[in-house]
Structure 1
Amino acid sequence: MADLLVTTDGPVATVTVNRPALRNSVTLAMWSGFVDIFARLGADPAVRAIILTGAGADFSSGADIGEFAAVRDDLDQSKAYEVAVDAGCAAIAHVAKPVIAVCRGYTLGGGAHLAMSADFRFAAPDTKFGIPAARLSIVYGEQATRKLLALVGLTEAKRILFSAERFDAARALEIGFVDDVSDDPLAAAHAFAAHLAGLAPLTQAGAKFILNSAAFGDLDEGRVDAVIDAASASEDYAEGRRAFAEKRAPRFVGA
């Protein structure tokens, strides 16, 4: 899909929203495209970390409102549209690999949901965040609202959603919406992704599953036990012990 580009640099894959002339607004087809792309990257053992970013000056201005008359014109279409948005963002949130969103320029509405679906958010100082749902009489979806609450807490989540006000990267860092602000967030994200790629993928996948489940209120102890047991029985665990004894870097393969 030309609107979503995938490149790889060693163990790090980069997914780029590629509509810079339209501030990387996301179409209905693109929401579905995220599902396919992140499923493919999740199944590729050569990929150990993923960067999500936007082409040009912006991360994403959110859903392409210009197509709403055709794809979100009535209640049934609106429900179907929200299902597609949630599926696309869930594919990012639940892929069993670290995902880093690199934000600059507009990161608004559905674009904010994309960023919140990543495990980490690195931002340029000029990034403008916001959720303009209150300007459109749209209720931000449950999945996105849970993510916002988990990041910034109840009062800040209410302020962001009630007011529809934009906030800058410094404010985003202060309230916990982003994790890092720098002049070159893409380079910072690549360095962090490369570091993560050298560590145990089963640990990262298990920690991500448990933390996300706990944050979103759907922790299943049986599945948690299965994740922990799978890591304990893995060759990677044996390799980690060997590497420690031999005083060398471990060579993890994710199995």
Structure 2
Amino acid sequence: MPPTARELASGPYPGAENLSLDRDGHTAVLTIDRPAKRNAMTAEMWAALPGVLAGPAADPAVRVLVVTGAGPSFCAGADIAGLLGGPDAQDPMAEVRAHNLAAQAALRAFPKPTVAMIRGHCIGGGVEIAASCDLRFADRSSVFGVTPSKVGIVYPPSSTRALVDLVGPATTKYLLFSGELLDADDALRTGLVDRLVEPADLEDEVRRFADVLAARSALTQRATKEIVAALTEGTDAEAVATPRYRETITAGELPEGVAAFAERRPPRFGWTG
């Protein structure tokens, strides 16, 4: 098991004490753990996130990452109290913005499937975290909003692109222009959420789906992430897909999958990356 977030916090990642890392079978669960502030992210928490993710990313026993929040909220965004605390008077948000963008990039680059498990408030930076995951499961208590227009912030291009990829240009503009909130049904309708369940069922449904992902080919999943990223970024997807396809053969994933299908048994995939 990789080091816990608390152990990381005592080392090179101050702020990680509010990022709880646990494991449930093949699933790592990263919990934003600041419930008294609806799990608002401080600059230190943004800065710690890439280091916290490095452990489960490198652990071959971890097949899936679930990201959630402690208590009744997912994440209410960035902690406004520290938003303008940077040392550069001309750009007081420079430091927190850099940490925020690095955290999102680390989550997008996580080499295994990632699922945001959302309840309650998912606002601002919470939407950035959720949008950086591969999939988003939410319960009907969830409320979503992207609020830079309320505080005069220019939303970063990478975060805007993530929203556009999920909900399209018009809904992205609606959210960013107005700062108005979407309820869970509207989030599902617009594509911001992939699955919507009753509050009592959320954890069980995410756990069930994580077990499904853990039973599938990790090589196929990693190749899928890389190919989708190449397609959305406009880079050469064939250059990504071809070596990964060959790897499914040399790693034994494709022969095992075909044999399991023919023998009507669950496949026993062994590739861990």
Q: Structure 2 length as normaliser, TM-score?
A: 0.88
Q: Which moved more, 1:231-240 or 1:173-182?
A: 231-240
Shift of 1:175: 0.6
* RMSD between superposed Cα atoms in Å: 1.7
Q: After superposition, where does 1:90-109 map in structure 2 within 5 Å?
A: 90-109=105-124
Distance 1:112 1:74, change over 3 A: farther
Q: Deviations over 1:185-210 (max 9, x none)?
A: 22211111111110000001100111
The residue type paired with residue 93 of structure 2 is S
Aligned residues of 1:72 and 1:81 also touching (Cα < 8 A): no
Q: Describe the SS at the equivalent of 2:192.
A: coil
The residue type paired with residue 80 of structure 1 is E
Q: Deviations over 1:146-175 (max 9, x none)?
A: 110001111111111111111100000011
Shift of 1:222: 2.7
Of 203, 213, 217, which aligns to 2:234?
Answer: 217
Distance 1:79 1:221, change over 3 A: farther
Q: Could you list the runs of 5+ residues in structure 2 that have no partner in the other structure?
A: 1-15
- What's the counterpart of residue 191 of structure 2? 176
Q: Describe the SS at the equivalent of 1:138.
A: coil
Of 153, 158, 166, which aligns to 1:151?
Answer: 166
Larger RCO, structures 1/2 (Cα 8 Å, 6+ apart): 1
The residue type paired with residue 264 of structure 2 is K
Q: Distance in 1 between matches of 2:251 and 2:231?
A: 24
Q: Does 1:83 align with 2:98?
A: yes
Distance 1:80 1:69, change over 3 A: closer
Q: How many residues align?
A: 255
Shift of 1:220: 5.1
Q: Does 1:189 align with 2:181?
A: no
Q: Could you list the runs of 5+ residues in structure 1 that have no partner in the other structure?
A: none
Of 226, 230, 233, which aligns to 2:243?
Answer: 226
Q: Distance in 2 between matches of 1:221 and 1:114?
A: 29
Aligned residues of 1:147 and 1:216 also touching (Cα < 8 A): no
Q: Describe the SS at the equivalent of 1:71.
A: coil
Aligned residues of 1:26 and 1:64 also touching (Cα < 8 A): yes
Q: Does 1:14 align with 2:14?
A: no
Q: Describe the SS at the equivalent of 1:6.
A: strand
The residue type paired with residue 206 of structure 1 is A
